[in-house]
Amino acid sequence: MPISFDEHKKIFKLDTPNTTYAMQVIRHGCLAHLYYGKKLTDNDLGYLIRGINLSFAAYPAEEAPDRSFSFGTTPLEYPAFGIGDFRTPCISVEGADGTGVTDIRYVSHRIYKGKPTLSGLPATYADENEAQTLEIDMKDALTGVVVTLIYTTFENYDAITRSCIVKNCSDSDVSIKRVLSACLDLDTCDYDMITLYGKWALERQIERRRLAHGIQGVESMRGSSSHQQNPFVAIVGKNTDEDNGEAYGMSLVYSSNFTALAEVGELNTTRVVMGINPQNFSWTLSPNESFTAPEVVMVYSDKGIGNMSRTYHRLYRNNLCRGYWKNRRRPILINNWEATYFNFDEKKLLDIAKSASELGIEMFVMDDGWFGQRDSDKRGLGDWFVNENKIKGGLKKLVDDVHTLGMKFGIWFEPEMISEDSDLYRTHPDWCLHVPGRGYSLSRCQLVLDMSRQDVIDYLFERMSSIIGECGIEYVKWDMNRSLTEVSSRLLPPDRQCETAHRYVLGVYQLMERLVSKFPKLLLEGCSGGGGRFDAGMLYCSPQYWTSDDTDALERVRIQYGTSYVYPVSAMGAHVSVCPNEQTGRTVDLNTRGNVAMSGTFGYELDLTKLTDEEKDTIRAQIKEFDEQYDVISYGDQYRLINPFEDNYSAAWMFVSEDKNRAFVTYVQTKTDPNPPMRRLKLKGLDPTKRYIDTQSGVSYMGDTLMNAGINLPMMFGDGKSCTFKFKAQEK
């Protein structure tokens, strides 16, 4: 029984294979958090809650003269605003009294098999044999609001998901001012916080800081999850490393404004909260209406950060990504963006596609610039009609020609955007986000469509599905190249304007859902100026995401390493591009560019018609290697070996197949050490009792030798050199 309830003690215990989560209904129907961590056999964990008589603590008047209970000193499951807990609250609902004070108490609960879907929102999914769910109803007697806390445990993963539904059970409107998805109250503050920060072309850099008294955390107010901070936080022990120690991960399945905060309070305890950013958010609920908060996926590991990441990878690969391409080999692609930018015609594209097909590349992707008057980033967004001056003979002919080469065809859209210089804007100036009477902000010369409007979504669906359907297109790169400003919808009344950002992202999810429902074999790759919206919400809709506009292999080492803290390599778009690199001017060995891009959804993004014969041979060899290693890389377990954020000279990682019979190791010498030590690389994740053969050298080693003594690394001269190793277990 993964989820149990002790009727007598009123204790809920949620077990996963190696973890336990426990809570208890204590006095006044308060839902207290008891424990989250390594699996426990005891059920009676109520002793963990102790009363404290603390000056300045507020206690319910009905408790007087006893002062030992306060919401503010109790670890809580879902803290409400205004009733004596001065730490960060999860919920505040404004009823008829206008106060925002909210007081939710336990009413009832249900435990059932399986996992519910979340209306309009992405979420992990599971069938009846894979998961169990607990729903706890908490009621605010004064406003009549019922908050249902939802917890799901997975049979095979050390993961617990949380979200909640707020329902207005009264007969007048209420306004939600704040509704976070999860809270985790920990009983010490002896932790570090890890977050993934960045900017355009430098996403998901790893940052680790010591928790301090007060509030620390990360947020986005950009209308997307953002390049700048990822909706993920890990709270780890001070000595936790890749393989040892405690790690609590919290990952939000949401692609818009978020907050993820850790607050260390006066009692040296830590509260971690995550959910929709309350800034400029509110939501009016009429009687009987409900609001669903996005899901948080919590993972606990007592075996370090690496184990936490592998849990996320497996869960997201198998129970978040969906559809035809979920665990299917994705086509190796060639994208024309860095090869041509806006300067192309159908002949140029076909030349690139022909060169690609000769090398064994399987899909041609036509990037930005094929529609409307789109000859630069100044115009054309929204006019999703092919520009026949560029694509002479029409799009269908080009797609057919590419199909004749034996390749699939992919296309670029930026559905959420509109250029001022476009027919769409001239016809529907009110379709963009803007505040009447105010100036407005441009970014990359463009405005943002109001995706909270159904007419906008219907227009986009009609345009996109016509083009995809009529031409037989197999892949869409869905781009999004600016943050949201002047967030306001012309269709919402003043008291609902603060709903716009959330309604916007619901509109994005709806359009993606309609497209993949209409074209079940369509492969969607998300993109936001690279990895600006690389989050679990997007992976529910698109099983792969363009990781970064920075295609420099050495920058990518760090970007992909940071991304792997949460997201699987099967989701990371990674391409070999030209050198000197277009973003950094750096020249890196073609071999290394291939080795780095292979740890992702592999592809190329350069003018293949300009390659030398030697370069073509290298690419053929890369494609062969990727083909051979595809399943180990995409479905294997990833182990990080050398951290490029800590090591000035190198990075390394490896993949081990589930049966531990195969391994693929990548070592990158990011910088030459002029007087290098003899380096050895200790492998991880192998079966110590199996004998493995290095398939290149023919030398064999026991698994325990590879993991404890390691392999000798070759001496390589020059920055940005790399090598790979392939191991196969020998038959016993």
Which stretch, 80-88, 378-386, 525-533, 593-601, contacts ligand DGJ (CB under 6 A)? 525-533
Cα gap 336→369, rounded to integer Å? 10
- 275 near ligand DGJ, rule: CB under 6 A: no
Cα gap 670→550, rounded to integer Å? 16
**Residue 263 or residue 367: which is nearer to ligand DGJ going by CB?**
367
**Residue 412 or residue 561: which is nearer to ligand DGJ going by CB?**
412
Structure tokens that stand for 190 in this block? 């002896």
- 337 near ligand DGJ, rule: CB under 6 A: yes
**Residue 372 or residue 530: which is nearer to ligand DGJ going by CB?**
530
Query: Closest approach of Cβ 414 to ligand DGJ, in Å?
Result: 7
Strand 408-413 relative to strand 475-478: parallel, antiparallel, unpaired? parallel
Strand 363-366 relative to strand 333-335: parallel, antiparallel, unpaired? parallel
**Contacts of 526 by beta carbon, 8 Å cutoff, 6+ apart:** 478, 533, 534, 538, 539, 541, 542, 544, 545, 546
Structure tokens that stand for 208 in this block? 């680790």
- Total number of residues shown for the chain: 732
Query: Closest approach of Cβ 110 to ligand DGJ, in Å?
Result: 44
- 368 near ligand DGJ, rule: CB under 6 A: yes
Query: Closest approach of Cβ 386 to ligand DGJ, in Å?
Result: 17
**Residue 106 or residue 337: which is nearer to ligand DGJ going by CB?**
337
Structure tokens that stand for 400 in this block? 């057919």
Tell how many helices (H) and how many strands (E) occur in the chain. Answer: 12, 38
Cα gap 458→417, rounded to integer Å? 14
Q: How many Cβ atoms are within 10 Å of 506's Cβ, its own excluded?
A: 19
**Residue 531 or residue 720: which is nearer to ligand DGJ going by CB?**
531
- 69 near ligand DGJ, rule: CB under 6 A: no
Q: Which residue is nearest to ligand DGJ (CB)?
A: 368
Give the residues across from 298 on adjacent strands: 160, 250
CA torsion sign for 609, 610, 613, 618 is: negative
Position 23, amino acid:
M
Clarify whether 535 is annotated catalytic: no
Which stretch, 97-105, 453-461, 522-530, 689-697, contacts ligand DGJ (CB under 6 A)? 522-530
Which stretch, 452-460, 485-493, 526-534, 724-732, contacts ligand DGJ (CB under 6 A)? 526-534
Q: What angle do CA 394, 608, 331 make, to 5 degrees?
A: 70
Query: Closest approach of Cβ 335 to ligand DGJ, in Å?
Result: 7
Query: Cα dist. 286→90, 98, 263 in Å?
Result: 21, 15, 33
Which stretch, 507-515, 527-535, 557-565, 687-695, contacts ligand DGJ (CB under 6 A)? 527-535
Cα gap 390→379, rounded to integer Å? 15
Query: Closest approach of Cβ 340 to ligand DGJ, in Å?
Result: 11
Query: Closest approach of Cβ 401 to ligand DGJ, in Å?
Result: 22
User: Are the C-beta atoms of residues 185 and 116 closer than 8 Å to each other?
Assistant: no
User: Are the C-beta atoms of residues 361 and 627 closer than 8 Å to each other?
Assistant: no
- 546 near ligand DGJ, rule: CB under 6 A: yes
Site string for ligand DGJ, 640-679 (x = CB under 6 A): ----------------------------------------
Query: Closest approach of Cβ 586 to ligand DGJ, in Å?
Result: 19
Query: How would DSSP label each residue in 57-92?
Result: ----GGGTT-----TTTS-BSS-BTTSS--S--SEE
b/e for 653-688, b at 16 or more Cβ within 10 A? Answer: bbbbbeebbbbbbbbbbbbeeeeeeebebebbbbbe
**Contacts of 201 by beta carbon, 8 Å cutoff, 6+ apart:** 530, 548, 549, 550, 555, 583
- 94 near ligand DGJ, rule: CB under 6 A: no
**Residue 257 or residue 481: which is nearer to ligand DGJ going by CB?**
481
Query: Tokens 């740890």 appear where?
Result: 599
- 529 near ligand DGJ, rule: CB under 6 A: yes
Which stretch, 44-52, 59-67, 523-531, 616-624, contacts ligand DGJ (CB under 6 A)? 523-531
User: Are the C-beta atoms of residues 293 and 253 closer than 8 Å to each other?
Assistant: no
Q: How many Cβ atoms are within 10 Å of 620's Cβ, its own excluded?
A: 13
Which stretch, 189-197, 249-257, 500-508, 524-532, contacts ligand DGJ (CB under 6 A)? 524-532
Cα gap 669→193, rounded to integer Å? 29
Query: Tokens 């195969």 appear where?
Result: 662
**Residue 157 or residue 412: which is nearer to ligand DGJ going by CB?**
412
- 481 near ligand DGJ, rule: CB under 6 A: yes
φ and ψ of 179, to 5 deg: -145, 95
**Residue 282 or residue 548: which is nearer to ligand DGJ going by CB?**
548
Clarify whether 549 is annotated catalytic: yes
Cα gap 514→630, rounded to integer Å? 30
**Residue 158 or residue 474: which is nearer to ligand DGJ going by CB?**
474
Query: Closest approach of Cβ 208 to ligand DGJ, in Å?
Result: 28
- 367 near ligand DGJ, rule: CB under 6 A: yes
- 416 near ligand DGJ, rule: CB under 6 A: no
User: Are the C-beta atoms of residues 615 and 576 closer than 8 Å to each other?
Assistant: no
**Residue 103 or residue 414: which is nearer to ligand DGJ going by CB?**
414
Site string for ligand DGJ, 437-476 (x = CB under 6 A): ----------------------------------------
The radius of gyration of the chain from alpha carbons, rounded to an integer in Å, stands at: 27
Q: How many Cβ atoms are within 10 Å of 570's Cβ, its own excluded?
A: 25
Query: Closest approach of Cβ 343 to ligand DGJ, in Å?
Result: 13
- 366 near ligand DGJ, rule: CB under 6 A: no
- 530 near ligand DGJ, rule: CB under 6 A: yes
Position 12, amino acid:
F
Query: Closest approach of Cβ 479 to ligand DGJ, in Å?
Result: 5
User: Which position among 77, 158, 192, 479 is part of the footprint of ligand DGJ (CB under 6 A)?
Assistant: 479
Closest CA to 258 of 282, 276, 273: 276
User: Which position among 474, 549, 550, 555 is part of the footprint of ligand DGJ (CB under 6 A)?
Assistant: 549
- 412 near ligand DGJ, rule: CB under 6 A: yes
Closest CA to 564 of 682, 653, 635: 653
Query: Closest approach of Cβ 627 to ligand DGJ, in Å?
Result: 25
User: Are the C-beta atoms of residues 199 and 188 closer than 8 Å to each other?
Assistant: no
Query: Closest approach of Cβ 352 to ligand DGJ, in Å?
Result: 15
**Residue 12 or residue 567: which is nearer to ligand DGJ going by CB?**
567
- 383 near ligand DGJ, rule: CB under 6 A: no
- Among the options 185, 479, 550, 589, which is catalytic? 479
**Residue 192 or residue 549: which is nearer to ligand DGJ going by CB?**
549
**Residue 72 or residue 369: which is nearer to ligand DGJ going by CB?**
369
Q: How many residues touch ligand DGJ (CB under 6 A)?
A: 11
Instruction: Please list every residue from 184 through 223 that binds ligand DGJ, using CB under 6 A.
Output: none
- Among the options 15, 549, 550, 637, which is catalytic? 549
- 527 near ligand DGJ, rule: CB under 6 A: yes
Site string for ligand DGJ, 15-54 (x = CB under 6 A): ----------------------------------------
Burial degree of 136 (CB within 10 A; 0-12, 13-18, 19+):
buried
Strand 572-577 relative to strand 601-605: parallel, antiparallel, unpaired? parallel
CA torsion sign for 636, 638, 639, 644 is: positive
Catalytic residue IDs? 479, 549
Q: Which residues bind ligand DGJ (CB under 6 A)?
A: 337, 367-368, 412, 479, 481, 527, 529-530, 546, 549
